[in-house]
Amino acid sequence: MIILGAGPAGLVLGNLLLRGGVDCVVLERADREHVQQRTRAGYLAPETVRILERNGLAEGLRARGREHGVCEFRTEDGRFRLDYRTLGRGEPHTVYPQHELVSDLLAQFIDAGGRIRFGAEAVTVAEADGPDPSVTVREGDGRPGRWRGRYVAACDGRHGAGRRSLPPGAVRRHHRDHGVSWLGLLAEAPPSLDAVGYAIHPRGFAGHMARSTGITRYYLQCERDTAACDAWSDARIWDELDLRMRAAEYGPLLRGRIVRRGVVHLESDVLEPLRHGSLFLVGDAAGLISPSAAKGANLAVLEAEILARALIDALVRGDTVPLAGYSERCLAHIWRAQDFSHWMIGLLHTAAPGPEAASFFQEGLRRSRIAALRGSRTQQDWFAENYVGI
């Protein structure tokens, strides 16, 4: 079994296969340090925690993760809070930085005797439609190599070799560009709120997400033009965050050095089916989801567990029925998460300037959505269930 990519998807899959008695190798383009330091998401759904727990992979997050269950909306009509851990199914998120989770999974995989090749970039997956697929790789020193296995799991993201190797027509791609960009920021600053903060402002969305006692993630809706946002000074970013988070009314944000920034275009896509012969798509390789509801890493872990169990059934017990159902099972979760993320995008962004009637209509819908969330317990329960759910 060959696994491409050592992100959450590839490493959960690798760990579970190893425990289930399936021989596998992970091929990872980057070096170990890079993989362990890449800061990404950090909000784990309760189901993700349960998956990691029942597979003995939750020691680190149990020791260092923090439960989190409140979000605050700041709008033109004032602010309100949702204590979502007391709503819906009564479950919180666990905040645990993704690079720490990846480091834990990597250490556990290696300690258990797992094979991983760093600096090995998969170039193509060949003969995926048959029972004997192979992966050509470029090693760190430029040497070519080839790996053969019964199955290949593409856990190598949206630009990986898995997606690239799909022959035309093998898989349909449903794509949606949400027409919105966020400047994602990592600040060496303590959180300014004891809640996830969502500010809806005529100048654009701003978001606040605590990471640790000294690190906070912020988002600022920005122009599509990346270069323009790159040029913003730290002071300008903080002023803009203060303005959109309405610091004049609710208190200024705690400032610090901006240590990382990058523009994210809010895009979604879903590939269907998630299998081409012996090649399976998992995590970002299977579908891209906008970060508006922090579902990406959670879906990756869920899909990896579903695939691992199905592969163990096929390779150890000779039962290929669960493997045949992999795509359909995952797609049900993926579309659910896409629907909620899409709803969140509509909630958080004022309408882009456009033909007047259309943007008025859009704005009317958004305000009504916020009002319902603020005033209706049923709507709050629905929100809470979907917000933490996958």
Measured from the CB atom, is 4 or 196 closer to ligand APR? Answer: 4
Which is catalytic among the residues 198, 218, 219, 326? 198
Nearer to ligand APR, 182 or 238 (CB): 182
Measured between alpha carbons, how far is residue 53 from residues 61, 131, 315, 390 in Å?
A: 9, 33, 24, 16
CB of 244 to ligand APR, least distance (A): 23
Rank residues 122 and 193 by Cβ distance to ligand APR and give the closer one: 122
**Closest by alpha carbon to 200, among 371, 34, 52?**
371
- In the bound state with ligand APR, the residue whose beta carbon lies nearer, of 41 and 195, is 41
Q: Which two tokens stand for residue 88?
A: 């819906």
CB of residue 305 vs ligand APR: minimum separation in angstroms? 13
Residue (90 or 145) nearer to ligand APR, CB: 145
Which residue out of 8, 43, 46, 68 is catalytically annotated?
A: 68
Closest approach, Cβ 35 to ligand APR, in A, equals 5
Q: Catalytic residue among 84, 291, 326, 333, which?
A: 291
Known active-site residue 326: no
Residue 198 falls in the annotated catalytic set: yes
Binding site for ligand APR (CB under 6 A): 4-10, 27-30, 35, 40-41, 98, 121-122, 155-157, 160-161, 283-284, 296-297, 300
SS3 content of the chain, % helix, strand, coil (to 5): 40, 25, 35
d(CA 199, CA 220): 10
387 is catalytic: yes
Residues 93, 208, 295, 342: which is the catalytic one?
295
CB of 347 to ligand APR, least distance (A): 19
The strand order across the sheet containing 144-148 reads 121-126, 134-138, 144-148
389 Ramachandran zone, left/alpha/beta (phi>0; psi -120 to 50): beta
Q: How far is the CB of 241 from ligand APR (least distance, A)?
A: 22
State the DSSP string of 12-42.
Answer: HHHHHHHHTT---EEE-SS-HHHHHH-----
Instruction: Provide the annotated active-site residues.
Output: 68, 198, 291, 295, 387
